[in-house]
Amino acid sequence: MELSVVTYKGEDTGRKVALSESVFGVEPNDHAIYLDVKQFLANNRQGTHKSKERAEITGSTRKIKKQKGTGTARAGSIKSPLFKGGGRVFGPEPRDYSFKLNKKMKQVARKSALSYKAKEASVSVVEAFDFEAPKTKDYMGFLKALELEGKKTLLVLDADKVNLVKSSNNLKGTSVTTADSLNTYELLHADNVVIVEGALEKIENTLNNK
């Protein structure tokens, strides 16, 4: 598959690039995509949820009523989970939700996501560019020039460019990443993927273990 390279102003450069079939033309593996997205979301969970059990509740340990003769069930402590303000039974504890995923499985997932985008004609290649200063207006102009205004977009850079990242921060539905940090979740979340020309080789090398 060949795509025309355009400038950030939407002008055709007259050049074309060929997308690697080993990355953008594979048979998608939906299960690999599921696992990679699941791991991404799990690794981003804080896992700091916590509720107090009866041993952690502040309160008297005095027996609140006599054992027998009340006509009701026996009760030994106001901190019992049966009473209002008491501890919780088997409540959530802080935990780590992250899990490991095979490197090759991740590569298959990312190739699958890129192949889906390529089949949907949702991939664009743009000539390398940068802004002199962080300006949301300039980034909006870039999206408008590529006819992506109002769409969820992912810009993939060949290297980290602070001005571009900051320019996109205030725009809903837009995100900027680098070829080294590309992940399946961001690829699937975006309607359109815009790849800087220099990032293509990095993506292909990373996903093909070169």
**What are 133-174's pLDDT values in tens digits?**
999 999 999 999 999 988 999 999 998 899 999 999 999 999
Confidence of residue 210 (pLDDT cuts 50, 70, 90): low
Predicted local distance difference test score (pLDDT) of residue 2? 86
The pair of three-digit structure tokens given for residue 35, joined into one six-digit string: 């696992």
Predicted confidence (pLDDT) at residue 39 exceeds the cutoff of 70: yes
CA–CA distance, 107 with 207 (Å, rounded to integer): 5
User: Mean pLDDT score of the chain, rounded to an integer?
Assistant: 92
Average pLDDT over residues 24-38: 96
Q: Please write the tens of the pLDDT for every residue from 85-137.
A: 999 999 999 999 999 999 999 999 999 999 999 999 999 999 999 999 999 99
Arithmetic mean of pLDDT, 71-96: 91
Report, at the CATH architecture level, how domain 2-46+98-207 is classified.
3-Layer(aba) Sandwich (3.40)
Q: Is the pLDDT of residue 43 over 80?
A: yes
Asked whether residue 76 carries a pLDDT value surpassing 90, the answer given is no
What pLDDT does residue 138 have? 94
Bridge pairing between strands 174-178 and 12-18: unpaired
Using DSSP bridges, classify how beta strands 123-126 and 2-6 pair: parallel, antiparallel or unpaired. Answer: parallel
pLDDT at 37 (0 to 100): 97
Domain spans of the chain, in order of start? 2-46+98-207, 51-91
Q: Is the pLDDT reported for residue 1 higher than 90? A: no
Q: Among candidates 166, 169, 156, 164, which has minimal Cα distance to 199? A: 156
**Residue 10's pLDDT is what?**
87
Strand runs labelled E in 89-180: 123-126, 153-157, 174-178
**CB under 8 Å to 76, separation ≥6 — which residues?**
63, 64
d(CA 80, CA 60): 11
The pLDDT assigned to 61 comes to: 83
- 114 membership: H or E segment, kind and range: helix 103-119
